Amino acid sequence: MIVLVQATVLTVGLNGRNEVLQKLPIRLITMQSGREAARSLKTEKVNSVISRWNLDDMADGRFLKTFRAIRPHIPTIAFVRAGDHQQEVAARSLGVSAVLTEDASDEMFRDTVANVLKLKGMVSIKAISSAENAEELLRER
């Protein structure tokens, strides 16, 4: 199914991992720092947040902890350091919707976001750049 934007997603500290989400029907807001992201939340309505656990300006999940305390109903995905069980346990204890390690594949990242936002099987209209791509996409469905 081809659809227009279904959700606005704020990503924090992902350093270029966002490109894998281009085919999903979402609007991305990309921030690198927790403070910048927190300020943007005053003016932007978001449907989900995806953040690294440790940000340069907010270590130990401080951004996600604060966000979850203020908006616990909004789905969140935490990226933790691969092999760091303490970060994973802390993120899961916080009640995030999903936890991924920083070495997760692009496919796993995209699928996790699609599942958390209930977008499985949807493709953004912006992902279709030509009639040829559209025909190919429709054959896949």
Domains and CATH numbers, the chain: 2-140 (3.40.50.2300)
Look up the pTM and report it.
Answer: 0.82
Residues 28-63 have pLDDT tens digits of 999 999 999 999 999 999 999 999 999 999 999 999
Residues 86-140 have pLDDT tens digits of 999 999 999 999 999 999 999 999 999 999 998 876 554 454 444 445 555 455 4
Q: What is the pLDDT of residue 47?
A: 94
Taking the C-alpha atoms of residue 49 and residue 21, their distance in angstroms, rounded to an integer, is 13
Q: What is the pLDDT of residue 6?
A: 78
Give DSSP secondary structure letters for 44-105: ---SEEEEESS-SSS-TTHHHHHHHHH-TTS-EEEEE-TT-HHHHHHHHHHT-SEEEETT--
Amino acid at 51: S
